[in-house]
Amino acid sequence: MLSFLFSRLLSTLTVVLGVITLIFLLIHMVPGDPVQAMLGETATPTDLESLRQALGLDQPLLTQWWLYMSNLLQGNLGDSLYSKEPIIDILIERFPATLELALAGLLVAVLLALPLGSIAALRKDSIYDNGAMMFSLLGVSIPNFWLGPMLILLFSLTLGWLPVSGREGPLSLVLPAITLGTALAAILARMVRATLLEVLNEDYIRTARAKGLRESAIIIHHALRNASLPIITILGLQLGTLLGGAVITEIIFAWPGIGQLTIESIERRDYPLVQACILVISLSYVLVNTLTDILYAWLDPRVRYSV
């Protein structure tokens, strides 16, 4: 297990270094001058050059990268060009909202997908199976930028049950979580159905039934347990996606998370903050995937022995 952990952590560090470098290069290739955006069009060339020197933007790209990496290792992400606040403080303020929304969306997906996928597998080719797969097809086909406004029109403006936008209480989390979780639930339900159908045909399931075990005990303790590995993989991948891909949902519902902060900083040409937001999103995805690999190896010893 230790050799497996070492190999995974080493590969994770390599990916993180590559991600940081790629983000740095891409941000510096974005059209536009942040110094010009800060000082405005009426700024003199002398003022522009002075600020460019103060920010270190006049130095060679390799030197800028080295300084950025050095500051990053010290936990210093710099200051926002727009608000002049430390970027780390801004991220600490915004990230909990994104994490809350991602976990809520994941919970909605699990609560919808596990019953639907299980019923579809246990009642194969029945009306329940067809209904669950129809839900999956709709969930995958309907985009967030359409589903979100439709939920607002129905539950907020028409029925008045839930807030339209913002993060002002538990009720304001319901619509964004449903918007995020529905697409994931559709994918997860199909995975649960396919995995359970495969497991239910195994010899140990037939042996358990021959011993007279209750069907519910067979499903819960034998079938679902052995079908959990691919499901955990999907959940880990999708949690990373939710942490980084909730931008549209956060914009629709004015959710004050990292996604909305990214769009705001792009509009303001606040390049250091854009760079930090993308870095947080990328590292969250890498970290979640690494934890998923470790959990997978803990549940299935064959994985770590094959390394």
Domain span at residue 212 reads: 91-305
Share of the chain above pLDDT 90, in %: 4
Q: In the chain, how many domains are there? A: 1
pLDDT at 306 over 60: no
* Residue 70 is assigned to a structural domain of this protein: no
Task: Look at the block and give the residue holding tokens 């470790």.
Answer: 294
Rounded Cα distance between 22 and 294, Å, is 26
The CATH number linked to 257 is: 1.10.3720.10
Backbone angles phi, psi at 232, to 5 degrees: -65, -40
* Residue 32 is assigned to a structural domain of this protein: no
Task: Look at the block and give the residue holding tokens 């997978």.
Answer: 296
**307 compared with 173, residue with greater pLDDT:** 173
CA angle (281 as vertex; 280, 283 as ends), nearest 5: 65
Asked which of 5-14, 132-141, 145-154, 253-262 is least confident by mean pLDDT, the reply is 5-14
* Residue 55 is assigned to a structural domain of this protein: no
pLDDT at 24 over 60: yes
Handedness of CA 227, 229, 230, 234 (dihedral sign): positive
Mean pLDDT of 66-77: 84
pLDDT at 30 over 80: no
* Residue 152 is assigned to a structural domain of this protein: yes
**84 compared with 57, residue with greater pLDDT:** 84
Tell me, what's the pLDDT at 266?
81
* Residue 47 is assigned to a structural domain of this protein: no
**CA distances, 129 to each of 117, 186, 260 (Å):** 8, 13, 38
* Residue 15 is assigned to a structural domain of this protein: no
**205 compared with 40, residue with greater pLDDT:** 205
* Residue 58 is assigned to a structural domain of this protein: no
- Tell me the one-letter amino acid at 276: A
pLDDT at 59 over 70: yes
Write out the two tokens for 107: 């919970």
pLDDT band for position 40 (cuts 50, 70, 90): low
* Residue 192 is assigned to a structural domain of this protein: yes
pLDDT at 39 over 70: no
Mean pLDDT of 285-292: 81
Residues 118-158 pLDDT 10s: 888 888 888 888 888 888 888 878 888 888 899 999 998 88
User: Contact 238/181 with Cβ under 8 angstroms?
Assistant: no
pLDDT at 32 over 70: no
Tell me, what's the pLDDT at 118?
84
Rounded Cα distance between 88 and 77, Å, is 6
pLDDT band for position 185 (cuts 50, 70, 90): confident
pLDDT at 245 over 70: no
Tell me, what's the pLDDT at 72?
84
